Structure 1
């Protein structure tokens, strides 16, 4: 039997359904020092877009790599800028050095409590990939989400994250079990390029009445057609309007506009979400510089792979081409 959702969960589902939440970047220099002046300017620009809220401490913002003081100040900055909901990632920070599963649980819970203390509206629980190989892994994953919600007092989102980013495939039954929790508002799906897994996960989530949140930067339009009803995506860290136009056209039933907007977003995704996939953070920062969101000296991702100059040129050519196209 599905438990009755809490009022906070129901309110969050209502506020997020049909909207885009950018998984925002974190402006840094080459050494990984966060530029908080640049962050404030970036946050103000993103907050002025037509968004449902933002996601901080997520993979795009390198949330698990940030030092604790930087992480806390990042969320404070976004809380000051954004009136809508803030979803904060909660996982095991790189600095925690959790040596066993219990310590990983504790670190995830501690990060969620910090998010709540700083005014976040929900937490998105990073997957613990160790669960995938454990006989009781599904039950442990459910209990982790329960404990996070109990400790921080906020609604939770599940996070089906592809293995290249440190996650593992959530089977449909796990998604159904997670979304049966009263505190669970939905699940974000970031399968990267696994269409069947994405479809199965959306079907499992939709049966709950909770949010099926697409994080499918390379399958954004199709994921809406498969039943996703909101979005939390790194591709919206810059040029938010490209992503927003797709979901707005879909919600309005304007399928001609949906096809055109999807084509534009797909071209941007092809230039930014490509092998090596971890390079997408740097590519999105380059897009942010082109758009005037982030200054050049704060547009570095020290945690991703080195990329050739030609990749930046490709991102810029794509953006320049999209500007010349009619909406």
Structure 2
């Protein structure tokens, strides 16, 4: 199948990474998870090896094997490969593997070492190297405003948007005013670039401001609700959108809002386990299991989202 030169608009799920108790990847569960999410009408594709997929905790050979499993399980769907590495050389190796395994686009994550601040020239050099080395469309990642040097300012985004094969932005500023600035900048410079809402706690607001879709891990847990919200806002059915927002928001807050943020993947897995969609909710050490109280909060939020009063 020919790879898309642009990213189709719509909802994409950032998937989790099933693991056994010993921290080894469960490829059978991964195949089932990715296939189940893509079976939901309105899901255009997946982001694999994103932050929700614990991309900081996996090795290069594992990242490639994950893509192979996901590609085999989701034929015909758009597959974005997350590229998260601390050096450009390692990022280039991940990108080459992703292209070889049938990825349709590369999402370039800011290395975590940039959080304390980075020379903009280094950011541009990193992205340009990946842009030049691969023929795949590029998805930029706009990190949270709380992410320090990982959150690129508008003047840096201007230069990144000048890269011809940039096809989309995963807009994860986690602040609606910052989301709006990114969207207006993209409309000014590159109206062909899809700005995809990525703040799980404020999807309705972002959709209302304007969006070409969404790339969120919440769609790996309740994909039907995220798709329904997206469609309701697109159809200007604000009553339906508000009702869906009221169902989704407590779940988004239970997963993403409370510290520590490093438990997001564990919470996503726990939700899928509570729903009977994942046998094991283990993460790789040192991330441990959630306690009964934490799971109780997630269960209540899930009940509210899935079975509203």
Q: TM-score if structure 2 supplies the norm length?
A: 0.89
User: SS of 2:242's equivalent?
Assistant: helix
Match of 1:85 in 2: 78
Match of 2:135 in 1: 153
Report whether the alignment pairs 1:310 with 2:302.
Answer: no
Q: TM-score if structure 1 supplies the norm length?
A: 0.85
Structure 1: how far apart are the matches of 2:155 and 2:210?
18
Could you report, residue by residue, the CA deviation over 1:248-275 in whole angstroms, capped at 9, with x for unpaired residues? Answer: 1112222211111112111211221122
Structure 2: how far apart are the matches of 1:305 and 1:165?
24
Gaps of 5+ in 2: none
- Choose from 61, 65, 83 the match for 1:69: 61
- Choose from 201, 208, 214 the match for 1:218: 201
Change in 2 beyond 3 A, CA 1:39/1:130: closer
Aligned residues: 301
On the 8 A contact 2:200/2:252 being kept in 1, the answer is yes
On the 8 A contact 1:271/1:314 being kept in 2, the answer is yes
Report whether the alignment pairs 1:44 with 2:44.
Answer: no
Change in 2 beyond 3 A, CA 1:229/1:304: farther
Match of 2:164 in 1: 182
Gaps of 5+ in 1: 1-6, 93-97, 99-103
Structure 1: how far apart are the matches of 2:148 and 2:82?
14
- Choose from 12, 15, 20 the match for 1:29: 20
1:1-327 alignment runs, 5 A limit: 11-13=5-7, 15=8, 17=9, 19-50=10-41, 51-82=43-74, 83-92=76-85, 104-128=87-111, 129-130=113-114, 133-134=117-118, 137-162=119-144, 168-192=150-174, 194-207=175-188, 208-209=190-191, 210-273=193-256, 274-295=258-279, 298-302=280-284, 304=287, 307-325=290-308
Structure 1 position 167, deviation (Å): 6.1
Structure 1: how far apart are the matches of 2:116 and 2:62?
31
Structure 1: how far apart are the matches of 2:27 and 2:19?
9
Structure 1: how far apart are the matches of 2:160 and 2:124?
6
On the 8 A contact 1:8/1:155 being kept in 2, the answer is no
User: SS of 1:222's equivalent?
Assistant: helix
User: SS of 2:141's equivalent?
Assistant: strand
- The root-mean-square deviation of aligned C-alpha atoms, in Å, is 2.3
Change in 2 beyond 3 A, CA 1:29/1:239: same
Mean Cα deviation higher: 209-218 or 121-130: 121-130
Mean Cα deviation higher: 75-84 or 166-175: 166-175
